[in-house]
Amino acid sequence: MKTRRSPFVVRGSRFGLWKSEIQNSKFKIQNGFTLLEVVVAMAIVGLGVVALLEIFSLGLRLETRSSARTEAAVYMRQVMDEVLARRALSEGSEGGPIGRNHRWQVEVRSLRDETQLAQSNWDLNEVTLTMRYADGRSEKQLEMKTLRILKKTKQ
């Protein structure tokens, strides 16, 4: 009685065939990647590199905007401190350049509340500071407001 070989039994091969059958067949097992696999892998790597470059570019743009805004805020604080350090504030506006590309304007406006301040010796003033600065191709604007109470001067 002859024993039959089953192609499903693994004997030294991962395909269920005998080694001698694989070696004698015209289909050989090849190691490596096909050209299509290499092209797809390179396309995926290329997309990843492009995405990383976009992220770095966005980070640089945001850093530039942030530093310009921070610089404007520092100048605003400096101008506001100078205005609030004055002994007397007169109504009206004034302005000028500060730094490399910043312009400021301060407007002082008297707020009169006839019910409460009529008998008191105090004046309530609203101080509005506007800072304009260049941010790339456009001009940005920041605004800061505060109130200041001053003793009335005798006239």
CATH number at 35-151: 3.30.1300.30
What DSSP element (H or E) covers 90?
Answer: none
3-7, 75-79, 83-87: lowest mean pLDDT where? 3-7
| Cβ–Cβ under 8 Å, residues 79 and 71 | no
| Domain spans in the chain, listed from the N-terminal domain onward | 35-151
pTM: 0.61
Q: Which of 102, 80, 97 is nearest to 89 (CA)?
A: 80
Tell me the percentage of the chain whose pLDDT exceeds 70. 75
Return d(Cα 118, Cα 21) in angstroms, integer.
112
Q: What is the mean pLDDT of residues 5-31?
A: 58
pLDDT above 60 for 155: no
pLDDT above 70 for 29: no
Residue type, 65: R
Confidence of residue 119 (pLDDT cuts 50, 70, 90): low
Confidence of residue 78 (pLDDT cuts 50, 70, 90): very high
Return d(Cα 85, Cα 16) in angstroms, integer.
92
The residue that leads in pLDDT, 7 or 124, is 124
| Cβ–Cβ under 8 Å, residues 108 and 89 | yes
Tell me the percentage of the chain whose pLDDT exceeds 90. 45
Q: How many residues does the chain have?
A: 155
